[in-house]
Structure 1
Amino acid sequence: MVPAGGGGARASARAAVEEPDVAVVVTAGEERTEAWHDGQTPFDRLRWLLNPTYTGSERVPQTWAQGRYPPARFTVLWGLTGVGGWPQTDRAPGGDVAMLRQDQLVVAEDGTPWVRTDPAPDLPDDDIRWHRAPRDAYAQLADAGFLGLGAERPGARGDGRGDGVWWAAAGLAAGVAGTVLAGRVAARRRAGPPRQEPRHELIDL
């Protein structure tokens, strides 16, 4: 049965383990962007399929490790809201969003669903991990047409960019990061501790 909304037990589980509570999704081909939050049905389905708290990695074909993997069906940027606060950041507590990881769903030729994970999408490193997604979850969500999984995906094999979706997600992440950065700069004037240094004004002559 495809999971519906969230339950009360999830709140206590999230308190014990830091889990993402927002998912920004870019769908392959359409490059449509959507955002879902913890407790919404699409978010729960994504979590069931991708398991965003999994930190291990499984071996994949060498060609996949070199970037030639099947086209990504969709890309998810997982985030955690309500972070921040002094002294870690310059914003008031609860004002920041941390982008925790990026997941892509790909499907092998034998029909096995795989999750390609970048555990730190904001860092320029080569730490890429893979794990199998549960077949029962994939089958049920494909039957339900979730994010177009039941439809045939045309196009060539991936070339390391996730069939164009990786670049869309990277741009989206840059936009999110820029928004957060701009918010931090503005918050220094609004919510930060009082500054003691003298203020200066620029006067046109």
Structure 2
Amino acid sequence: MSGRPREFKNTDVIDAAIEVFWKHGYEATSAEALCKQTGIGRGSLYNAFGSKYELYKAALKRYQDLGIEEQKALLERSDRPVKERLRSLMEWAMQLDKLDTKDADRQGCMAVNAAAERGGHDAAVADLINDHVRFLEQTICHLIVLGQRSGEIPATRSPLELTRMFISSYYGLRVLGKVANDQDLLLDIIEGTLSSLSTTKA
């Protein structure tokens, strides 16, 4: 069937491509860089995926799928209070985004980078990003409802409102994590976000 990439059973090729796209973005990634990182010739690579763009979408989806697995593992820890699970998620994002200010090569989140580079004009990329946001919204909203039922989070505010506030702070943290030189600022964002979940609505 034309127009569809042949699937690699070995995901090592896609994982290698992730590293290149994550570091350079879509536009600045060359075929030569992909061939060097994956260890596959250009003809074989494009015969398998059809184009650089199709490989990029496969890499972005793989990155998101792996991220969702890790996020689910943190958020579904039923042995921990709700706010501690949410804290773990934000701290995970900090580690993922290399928030050590001595690290000059902070790549940020590949999905956030993709949204900034292509989300405004690439429907396929926008759909992938939105799928991830919907996953987070549903999962976190469920957690907040559990927290309200247990009394950990006041039930005076809409769970969806609190969820979207949290997600806004979460993605803001991931963007700032790429450029901020003050790690204390980022830690304060986490504390402020979690504290706001306990604030009753006036």
Q: Give the TM-score band, short-chain normalised.
A: 0.3 to 0.5
Which of structures 1 and 2 has the bigger CA Rg? 1
User: TM-score if structure 1 supplies the norm length?
Assistant: 0.32
| Structure ranking higher in strand proportion | 1
User: TM-score if structure 2 supplies the norm length?
Assistant: 0.32
